[in-house]
Amino acid sequence: MNKNLYGFAALFKTPDEIIEAAKKTAEAGYQKYDIHSPYPVHGIDRAMKLKASKLGFITLVFGLTGSAIALLLMYWTMSVDYPMIIGGKPFFALPAFVPITFELTVLLATLATVIGMITFFFRFPENDHPLHDTEYMKKVSCDHYGLVIEAKDKLFNETKVRELLNSLRPLSIEEIYYPEKETYPVLETKFVTFLILIALLTSGVTYFALNKLLYMQPFTWMMDQPKLNPQKQSTLFADGFGMRSPIKGTVARGFLPYPFTGQNAPTDVLLNPYLPTKENLQLGEQKYLTFCSPCHGNFGDGDSRLRGQFPNPPSLHSTRAREFSDGMIYHIITNGQNVMPSYASQITREERWAIVNYIRVLQRAKNAKSSDLQVVNKETGTNASN
């Protein structure tokens, strides 16, 4: 027997004949045989004694998987990861989840059925099957019906198979052989060049899309908008500014203008409206450390970490500084003095007064009296003396 023989193929003209042929072949006990027809012939699976297709199981399993994925995803996102009340619905709003659950069920079931059928049941793609490019295949593709008995069958015997096929009175009998194996060298110059070109093209397009295209109009992540920005020019207003300043003399609600702006040594200053409570002093300490300490030092000695790089700031413990009224210190913070700029826009009014109170604490601590020490000893239970 020829080793390259795939099998014998017989052609028939009518569907009745092929049903008959299928029955006879199945009765003769052959297992590896097949019927080919240009469309499914009714009753052929019964004649061939085929078992019912098990494809439905794939559909069932993947359909249920689809429902489960959909429900779990929606449950987790909407009730666990980022629960949000929408339209007064509960976090797990089952009726509202029905549409997407259904769609994902159908999607997964369909794709799994088709992919499972093609890859698992058909073992496709298979364009190198020995039946391809034969006269036989051309005929069954059009208007004939064919029977193939494979040489691999346990009962295959050339003379017996011929006898059986002849008894069915076919139009013709064809011997089908395995085609010669074609080999394709992987490292062919053309192929490698093709791969390199594809790699260059892909990386080039990706680079362009991510680094250039996304920053071009109109894909600029809403960077360019024809709206007025505070710092932008505008042709809409006569003065050419995009930003509007308040009309002269208007005062914002809750805002008191500082009456001594620009005066170097005002004769009149404000009175401190805040008592040095614990909260007030804590606020003052925090703001002092943030805004004042970079120059004046953590304890007001004028020995900050910037010493030497700027003109030295004065100590806050000099007699002059200690003799300033609260209002005067407030004025210096608000208005600035010498190199020190105004802090009016950075520190609120309340915070400025708190800083003033805190500076008083620092001054008193550096120049403590014996009576202060007694109070401290009394409050903390220590026994310090001068």
Q: Which of 196, 210 has the CB closer to another protein?
A: 210
Query: Which 10-69 residues touch another protein, going by CB under 8 A?
Result: 14-16, 18-19, 22, 34-46, 48, 50, 53, 55-56, 59
**82-111 residues near another protein, rule: CB under 8 A:** 82, 86-87, 89, 93, 96-97, 99-100, 102-104, 106-107, 109-111
Which C-beta is closer to another protein: that of 177 or that of 299?
177
Residue 1 or 142 with smaller CB distance to another protein:
142
Nearest 5°: CA angle at 265, between 259 and 269? Answer: 45
Spell out the SS3 assignment of the chain: CCCCEEEEEEEECCHHHHHHHHHHHHHCCCCCEEEECCCCCCCHHHHCCCCCCCHHHHHHHHHHHHHHHHHHHHHHHHHHHCCCCCCCCCCCCHHHHHHHHHHHHHHHHHHHHHHHHHHHHCCCCCCCCCCCCCHHHHHHHHCCEEEEEECCCCCCCHHHHHHHHHHCCCCEEEEEECCCCCCCCCCCHHHHHHHHHHHHHHHHHHHHHHHHHHHCCCCCCCCCCCCCCCCCECCCCCCCECCCCCCCCCCCCCCCCCCCCCCCCCCCCCCCCCCCCHHHHHHHHHHHHHHHHHHHCCCCCCCCCCECCECCCCCCCCHHHHHCCHHHHHHHHHHCECCECCCCCCCCHHHHHHHHHHHHHHHHHHCCCHHHHHHHHHHHCCCCCC
Q: Which residue from 73, 228, 328, 361 is in contact with another protein, where contact means CB under 8 A? A: 73
Q: Is 23:150 a contact under the CB 8 Å cutoff?
A: no
Rule CB under 8 A: choose which of 78, 176, 292, 332 binds another protein.
78
Query: Judged by CB, which is closer to another protein: 124, or 194?
Result: 124
Q: Residues 10, 137, 149, 329: which binds another protein (CB under 8 A)?
A: 137
Q: Give the residue with the Cβ less far from another protein, 144 or 331.
A: 144
Q: Given the complex with another protein, which of 152 and 364 has the nearer CB atom?
A: 152
Beta bridge partners of 177: 5
Compute the least distance from the CB of residue 196 to another protein, in Å.
24
Query: Is 125 an interacting residue with respect to another protein (CB under 8 A)?
Result: yes
Q: Are strands 5-12 and 145-150 parallel, antiparallel or unpaired?
A: antiparallel
Site for another protein in 184-223 (CB under 8 A): 217-219, 222
List 49, 124, 152, 166, residue binding another protein (CB under 8 A): 124
**Contact between 121 and another protein per CB under 8 A:** yes
Does the protein bind another protein through residue 72 (CB under 8 A)? no
Q: Which is nearer to another protein, 46 or 212 (CB)?
A: 46
Q: Are 382 and 376 in contact (CB under 8 A)?
A: yes
CB of 4 to another protein, least distance (A): 19
CB of 146 to another protein, least distance (A): 8
Residues 216-245, mask of contacts with another protein (x by CB under 8 A): -xxx--x-----------------------
Smaller CB distance to another protein: residue 122 or 237? 122
Which one of the spans 80-88, 181-189, 194-202, 363-371 is the region binding another protein (CB under 8 A)? 80-88
Of residues 234 through 293, those in contact with another protein by CB under 8 A are none
